[in-house]
Amino acid sequence: MRINQTLLPYMLAAVILLTGCHAAQQTTRTAGAAKVNNPCFIEDITLGGKSNYISHCPEIGSSKSRSSQRLKSAEIIALQEKYASILGVDPKNITNLPLYAFLDEWIGVPYRLGGDSKKGIDCSAFVRRLYDHVYCVNLVRTALEQFNYCSYVFDRDHLKEGDLVFFRTRGKRITHVGVYLGNNYFVHASRTQGVTISNMNDMYWQRYFAGAGTIPIDQG
């Protein structure tokens, strides 16, 4: 087939353009896949303190937040032993280090209704910050909204780390929320103690317990 010489430069330019578009599409797909597969929890961690970890979730608040930094082996061991002692479990069961590093920063922060900072925070704001930082999930704001967003867990024996636990401390409405840690313990922002860890078997919490639920983390 004879090709018009005057059209040849235009044909070559079209071939180059099409090839470039295909390469760009391939690059975009690869980058997209890498973003989806990027983990939110622990990277290259070996229990026993032989490795460090990085939290991949977006930072909340100060860029100097310790839970977003690389921890030394001794700090990992200390973190595991500290919270294993509180929860009454073996240190090897403390594997979600971004979660416990986050708790370590917030334990003791005072309660303030409507608060959302380390100057004072309420229960649902604390849960929202924890989920944003540890699980990369942007939760709704109030305890009642969080309750309605959950997939309900009807058997307390089936609770898992990260599930939400709800209470009716005043009347029939959901008024309080915390995050389950394990072995019947949960973390929450208490009106009297600020951010603290409590046991669900305590008479007070048993009396006001209203239910529990799992947040669809993969949809956050």
Query: Alpha-carbon distance 39 to 22, whole Å?
Result: 28
Report the pLDDT averaged over residues 197-202: 97
Active site residue 22: no
pLDDT for residue 92: 95
> Given 22, 57, 123, 133, which residue is catalytic?
123
Active site residue 188: yes
Percent of the chain with pLDDT over 90: 65
> Given 56, 57, 158, 176, which residue is catalytic?
176
Q: Is the dihedral of CA 212, 177, 124, 80 positive or negative?
A: negative
Q: Any idea which of 21-35, 103-117, 128-142 has the lowest mean pLDDT? A: 21-35
Q: How far is CA 134 from CA 55, 106, 111, 162, in A?
A: 8, 13, 21, 10
pLDDT for residue 11: 52
Question: First-to-last CA distance in the chain?
Answer: 58
φ, ψ dihedrals at 182, nearest 5°: 140, 160
Q: How confident is the model at residue 45 (pLDDT cuts 50, 70, 90)?
A: very low
Q: Any idea which of 30-44, 54-68, 104-118, 120-134 has the lowest mean pLDDT? A: 30-44
Q: What is the pLDDT of residues 84-124, one digit of tens each?
A: 999 999 999 999 999 999 999 999 999 999 999 999 999 99
> Is the pLDDT assigned to residue 21 strictly greater than 50?
no
Q: What is the pLDDT of residues 139-196, one digit of tens each?
A: 999 999 999 999 999 999 999 999 999 999 999 999 999 999 999 999 999 999 999 9
Query: Alpha-carbon distance 178 to 189, whole Å?
Result: 7
Select the more confidently predicted residue: 191 or 65: 191
Q: Any idea which of 45-59, 83-97, 153-167, 197-211 has the lowest mean pLDDT? A: 45-59
> Is the pLDDT assigned to residue 28 strictly greater than 80?
no
Query: Alpha-carbon distance 43 to 51, whole Å?
Result: 9
Report the pLDDT averaged over residues 197-206: 97
Strands 151-153 and 209-214: antiparallel
Q: How confident is the model at residue 61 (pLDDT cuts 50, 70, 90)?
A: very low
Are 58 and 136 in contact by the 8 Å Cβ rule? The answer is yes
Active site residue 123: yes
Task: Tell me the pLDDT of the chain averaged across its residues.
Answer: 77
pLDDT for residue 216: 82
pLDDT for residue 71: 77
Q: Does the pTM exceed 0.85?
A: no
pLDDT for residue 116: 97
